[in-house]
Amino acid sequence: MTVEQSGRRIGTVADRGDCSPRSKLEQVYMATEVHAAYLDIILTRYGHSAGKLLQILREVQEYSGYIDRAAVGYLSSLLGIPRSRIESVASFYSFLHLKPNGEYRVLFSDNITDRMLGGPALLDQMCQQLWLQPGKVSEDGLVSIGTTSCTGMCDQGPAMLVNGRAITRLTHQRIQEIGQLIRNRTPLDNWPADFFRVEDNIQRDGLLLGNALACGAALRAGLLQDGHAVVESIKASGLRGRGGAGFSTGLKWEVCRNAPGAEHYVVCNADEGEPGTFKDRVLLTRQTDLMVEGMTLCAWAIGARTGFLYLRGEYRYLLESLHAALQRRRASNLLGENILGQPGFDFDIEIHLGAGAYICGEESALIESLEGKRGVPRNRPPFPVTHGYLQQPTVVDNVETFCQAALAVHMGAENFHAIGTAKSTGSKLISVSGDCPRPGIYEYPFGVSVREVLQDCGAVNTVAVQISGPSGVCVGESEFERKLCFEDLPTAGAFMVFDDSRDMFEVARNYVHFFAHESCGFCTPCRVGTAMLQQTMDKIAAGHGTRYDLAEIEDLDRVLQSSSHCGLGRTACNPVLHTLKHFRPAYENKLKSLEFESAFDLDGSLARARQMTRRNDAGAHLKEIG
Ligand SMILES: Cc1cc2nc3c(=O)[nH]c(=O)nc-3n(C[C@H](O)[C@H](O)[C@H](O)COP(=O)(O)O)c2cc1C
Ligand code: SF4
């Protein structure tokens, strides 16, 4: 029996579109054939492929609110993989749950910019309103409230996710209304549409955002040349990856094209998890065709038939419009078989949705996730260009890189090369947030100074800008003439502004918490090191820090730099070291004059013993002894 045959759509009240509590009969149905029937539909959609495990689990959760034991057992038998593997994958991704987690799952974005806009007070308000503690599920199973890493809405925060759907521009009034809607068990589809509006906030356009190319124009220009010539053209344009590392795009395509393999793959990295970065969100909304055209040109150049768009789970709301865009292109013969009449040029794209794991932005972790596994970075070399998806040659590029590649092919390598600086050609999208009256997306030719961006967004009394997110650099006032480009300040796009009212120690503490939360735990130096770093910063914040702790952080950095498996661990100490360089007093004001103090409050832990012995004199306190 299928769900359609049963004549009922089963799911949580919140997702389901009716307000009635589940009847006993319904619960029985859920645990039996309808449940199995729905799982069958999902499994069929994904060809009963264990490689699609993450997508299957995500859909199971969308259907029933969490992944229950019965579902794990059923999937295990039909996919032919052990239960332990399914549970291990599900437990890796923060948006997946193996236990009931509230029909309404509320997650407040915990980036520093959300905090600066009052996020924590709104979280407290909601917890009080719903009589709930953060991280707990209400006794009636109605709601859970927690925090999540940056949701990519820093230009319109504070933001939250409710059952994966983004709500922006939160205010006390809006929180009041949301609390009421939850109490009334109003299905999400009946909440005011305005709550879910995500603005593009394009403040300055340029070569990319201002382009008026007709759909298919860049692809038609590319198909006039053979694959080799397209690679040469991208190389000559000087295009470098926009995802952060700045590797030569043409060179990457060339190595992949020349790598032996039964299949070649194109992957678009739309995981955009670096706090403060939201430019890919806007490109996915406004330049979908250009991005797909870049992917299709890459497929032409390297000889791929399959592409994947890895979309971060926080951007789930874009899924339907992206599917529609792909469908339109298929209908126009811009995707599919014999594209634009080129015999044998077959290429299509699947969308793969992430589930709340920042590390999956790292290209080899992303590929693991695409293969339905935990998103743990691979040993490199070999690199994805030769051993990527299913160990086949794979190009992984950022959303913006594919857009720029399409532009470069259309306008010609020479014209593209003429824009920007010698080693950073073309333009760059900057995501501006924080202390400024005009946050949003700004596009500039590479080489723009930090000061120019600050002037354009109207920032005043700025003391620091965090460039390229927590893993990037913090520049102080003395460095505002520095340029955004690979020769000076490379950036994936984040530009977080802090004025003189901010405590830069707290900014760094937020970033350190982010790294500790997002460490995938695979290697000990990072797993333990990021936790130690977090503890040390919390200890300083609590007034127990000493100079010894600052020296410890520098030692920790040396260990993490030299022995971490991937970039997350290697950059985890950056926020502290950079803010220490510019804002040492912000740390020193919080330090005790002692040379060392334990992170463990020994005197505090003896409080119970003092109570039992009815002693509270000086001699009963450790600090007073000796
Ligand atoms: C921890 C970590 C997270 C990353 N997150 C992203 C991301 O969200 N988006 C992205 O495009 N690249 C990200 N990268 C970089 C990718 O590994 C890879 O270099 C990039 O997708 C290559 O594309 P590009 O050459 O077009 O920049 C991340 C790297 C690391 C180490
Ligand atoms: S450095 Fe951190 S994030 Fe990277 S693999 Fe090791 S534990 Fe995972």
pLDDT bin (cut points 50, 70, 90) of residue 601 is: low
What is the 518 CA–ligand 2 centroid distance (Å)? 9
Pocket of ligand 2 (CB under 6 A): 359, 377, 519-523, 526-527, 564-566, 568-569
What is the 102 CA–ligand 1 centroid distance (Å)? 33
Residue 518 near ligand 1, beta carbon < 6 Å: no
Check: CB of residue 573 under 8 Å from CB of residue 553: yes
Strand 160-162's sheet: what is its strand order? 143-148, 104-109, 160-162, 165-167
- The SS3 assignment for 606 reads coil
Does position 188 have pLDDT exceeding 90, yes or no?
yes
% of the chain beyond a pLDDT of 90: 86
Ligand nearest to the backbone CA of 528: 2
What is the 12 CA–ligand 2 centroid distance (Å)? 35
Q: What is the DSSP string of 199-222?
A: ---EEE--TTTT--PPTTHHHHHH
Ligand nearest to the backbone CA of 280: 1
Which of these, 283, 309, 264, lies nearest to 55 by C-alpha position? 309
Rounded-to-integer distance, Cα 520 and Cα 608, Å: 37
Q: Which residue has the tokens 């057992």?
A: 73
CB neighbour list of residue 5: distance below 8 Å, 6 or more residues apart: 37
In this structure, of 6-10, 79-83, 123-127, 432-436, the range with the lowest mean pLDDT score is 6-10
What is the 391 CA–ligand 2 centroid distance (Å)? 21
| Closest C-alpha residue for ligand 1 atom 25 | 241
User: Which of 274, 358, 359, 368 gets mutated to test ligand 2 (max ligand atoms within 8 A of its CB)?
Assistant: 359
Phi-psi label, residue 548: left if phi above 0, alpha if psi -120 to 50, beta otherwise: alpha
Rounded-to-integer distance, Cα 331 and Cα 335, Å: 8
399-411 helix and 227-237 helix, angle to the nearest 10 degrees: 100
Ligand nearest to the backbone CA of 244: 1
Q: Which atom of ligand 2 is nearest to the CA of 359?
A: 3
What is the 72 CA–ligand 1 centroid distance (Å)? 32
| Closest C-alpha residue for ligand 2 atom 1 | 569
| Closest C-alpha residue for ligand 1 atom 31 | 567
pLDDT in tens, 456-507: 999 999 999 999 999 999 999 999 999 999 999 999 999 999 999 999 999 9
Q: What is the DSSP string of 60-77?
A: HHHHHSS--HHHHHHHHH
pTM higher than 0.95: no
Rounded-to-integer distance, Cα 114 and Cα 497, Å: 13
| Closest C-alpha residue for ligand 1 atom 22 | 397
DSSP letter at 383 equals: P
Q: Which atom of ligand 2 is nearest to the CA of 519?
A: 3
Residue 68 near ligand 1, beta carbon < 6 Å: no
Check: CB of residue 495 under 8 Å from CB of residue 276: yes
What is the 361 CA–ligand 1 centroid distance (Å)? 5
What is the 281 CA–ligand 2 centroid distance (Å)? 25
Q: Which atom of ligand 1 is nearest to the CA of 567?
A: 31
User: Which of 398, 402, 404, 565 gets mutated to test ligand 1 (max ligand atoms within 8 A of its CB)?
Assistant: 398
pLDDT in tens, 543-585: 999 999 999 999 999 999 999 999 999 999 999 999 999 999 9
What is the 392 CA–ligand 2 centroid distance (Å)? 24
Span 371-396, average pLDDT: 97
Does position 624 have pLDDT exceeding 60, yes or no?
no
Span 253-281, average pLDDT: 98
Rounded-to-integer distance, Cα 70 and Cα 494, Å: 43
